[in-house]
Amino acid sequence: MMIESSRHPSSRALLGALRYLLPVLGLVLALGWSVLAAGPTLPRPPAELNVTANTAEVSFPAEVRFRLVASDPASTIERVQLFFSVDDSPVLQEATPTFRPGRTVEAEFHWLVRQLLVPGSEISYYWRVQTASGNHWTTEPQQVNYDDTRFNWRQARDGFITLYSYGSGEAASQGLLLEARDVLDLMEREYGLILKKEVKVFVYADEQDYITAFGPLQVSSTAVTVGTDRIFMLLAVLPEDSVAAIRHEVLHAVFLQRTENAFNDPPRWLTEGFSMFLSGEEIPPENIDILRQLDSEGQLFSLRSLNGGFPSTDRERAIAYLESYSALRYIIEEFGTQKLKALLAAISEGNATDDAFVQALGVTVGELDQRWRESLQRGDQASPSTAPRVGQATDDAAEGWLARTMGFWNENLDVVGRPIIIGLVVAALVITILGFRSGRGRRRKSGESDD
């Protein structure tokens, strides 16, 4: 029996369609492979912005002139922005400079700073440029110092302190620098407190120079600390007044750097008391009696009320300063130097005021206030304090002073004069020591005591 094969009509139609589709599919696959072989089409990266000028010039005390000259070879520059900040401020300011759009632009911005900045401010800035094609460019950050360019400043440096002076201030600059160094030595040796960053001290030799350095800003004191790292002072007629001023302001810088935080300012009374007491200022016993009498009459300010600021009248401000001095002395004598250091550290961590005092001293500001007033009534501050302060030099401090003084001679005397001066100093020391020992021997032979 023979079996005859047969095809279904639908199968024959499918085969016919495939004969026409196969060549088309082959052509599509061939084109696809050619596209893949050529690789994907990516947008062409933009060319770099060509910057030919990026400057900031200070015209003290009026303005800072920012200037940018830049070009984009591929597109028109349509927008230019300037961003800048001052010192350690987190605030970023934006300015719109004048310019004419084009492939090449020259943008300028004049920042009027007469009522805004004080000398020594550091300005950080950068530019942002946008083109018509949508490209954005940002320049590298630059810095410029807003310096008082009216004088030829002489610079003297000792560790974290750099002192700038001119004219008659140059003669006093080395002595002031040594005083600043003594303050820092005491803070490190007795309290474990050091500066975190450099402090610049600007010594003005003339009152008009000093006043005009701040423009319209009102400066009521002949010495002031700005921020945490700049001190401005007017050279006093009496050298001891300049010494007291630099001691006070350097202590301000130490305190402010050790309590700096982004959340809370330290109590004003603690700030002032720290600088007044530790700089070696003496409060006469009669002023302590006045504090005691005012407390008895209920006329003293609470320490908490002096956290944020001081009164405006002269009499009330004087009382506030006396309270600050006395309260700081009480803290050191009652709790010790290490507790004071711990208090500054607690403030720097951003704690609320009461929390910082409880963490370091175990009492709130109100409780401290009460205990301090009780000590006043007991007469605990009737005699001079024995707490370590500037001016109460130890042997180590005296040796440090001698070493720094010799270092100054070594740097500033010529080759011939240097050995002569040093030899005279050494001879004087030897004679003094021998005379002292000889005197002690004679006293012992005659039965006198060393005490």
CATH of the domain at 176: 3.40.30.160
Q: Using 50, 70 and 90 to split pLDDT, how confident is the model at 394?
A: very low
Q: Which of 367, 384, 401 is the last residue of a domain?
A: 367
Q: What is the pTM of this model?
A: 0.74
Q: What is the pLDDT of residue 361?
A: 98
% of the chain surpassing 70 pLDDT: 76
Q: Which of 86, 113, 146 is the last residue of a domain?
A: 146
Residues 156 and 254 both lie in one domain: yes
Q: How many domains does the chain have?
A: 3
Q: Which residues span the domain enclosing 125?
A: 50-146
Q: What is the pLDDT of residue 39?
A: 45
Q: Using 50, 70 and 90 to split pLDDT, how confident is the model at 73?
A: confident
Residues 190 and 229 both lie in one domain: yes
Q: What is the pLDDT of residue 449?
A: 33
Residues 296 and 278 both lie in one domain: yes
Asked if residue 63 lies in contact with residue 56, where contact means CB atoms within 8 angstroms, the answer is: no
Residues 269 and 360 both lie in one domain: yes
Say which residues have a Cβ less than 8 Å from residue 184's Cβ, sequence separation at least 6: 159, 160, 161, 194, 195, 250, 254
- Structural domain contains residue 434: no
Q: Is the pLDDT of residue 372 over 90?
A: yes
- Mean pLDDT for 310-322 is 95
Q: Is the pLDDT of residue 446 over 90?
A: no
Say which residues have a Cβ less than 8 Å from residue 181's Cβ, sequence separation at least 6: 158, 159, 161, 400, 404
Which has the minimum average pLDDT: 129-143, 260-274, 322-336, 422-436? 422-436
Residues 102 and 139 both lie in one domain: yes
Q: Is the pLDDT of residue 400 over 70?
A: no
Tell me the CA distances in angstroms from 89 to 26, 123, 124, 227, 321, one per residue in order. Answer: 68, 10, 10, 10, 29
Secondary structure (H, E, C), 204-236: ECCHHHHHHHCCCCCCCCCEEEECCCEEEEECC
Residues 173 and 253 both lie in one domain: yes
**Whole-angstrom Cα distance, residue 188 to residue 152?**
33
Residues 267 and 256 both lie in one domain: no
Residues 254 and 278 both lie in one domain: no
pLDDT in tens, 237-253: 999 999 999 999 999 99
- Structural domain contains residue 9: no
Q: Using 50, 70 and 90 to split pLDDT, how confident is the model at 215?
A: confident
Q: Using 50, 70 and 90 to split pLDDT, how confident is the model at 116?
A: confident
**Whole-angstrom Cα distance, residue 75 to residue 353?**
56
Residue 102 is classified by DSSP as B
Q: Is the pLDDT of residue 348 over 90?
A: yes
Q: What is the pLDDT of residue 376?
A: 95
Residues 240 and 254 both lie in one domain: yes
Q: Is the pLDDT of residue 1 over 90?
A: no
Q: What is the pLDDT of residue 27?
A: 54
- Structural domain contains residue 387: no
Q: Higher confidence at residue 446 or residue 313? A: 313
Q: What is the pLDDT of residue 20?
A: 57
Q: Is the pLDDT of residue 264 over 70?
A: yes
Q: What is the pLDDT of residue 94?
A: 97
Q: Which of 260, 275, 305 is the last residue of a domain?
A: 260
Q: Using 50, 70 and 90 to split pLDDT, how confident is the model at 149?
A: very high
Q: What is the pLDDT of residue 180?
A: 97
Residues 160 and 102 both lie in one domain: no
Residue type, 389: R
Residues 268 and 345 both lie in one domain: yes
pLDDT in tens, 23-43: 555 554 454 444 444 444 444
Q: Is the pLDDT of residue 364 over 50?
A: yes
- Structural domain contains residue 172: yes
Residues 183 and 252 both lie in one domain: yes
Q: Which of 155, 99, 154, 149 is nearest to 128 (CA)?
A: 99
Q: What is the pLDDT of residue 220?
A: 78
Q: Domain holding 135: CATH number?
A: 2.60.40.10
**Whole-angstrom Cα distance, residue 377 to residue 374?**
5
Which has the minimum average pLDDT: 71-80, 246-255, 388-397? 388-397
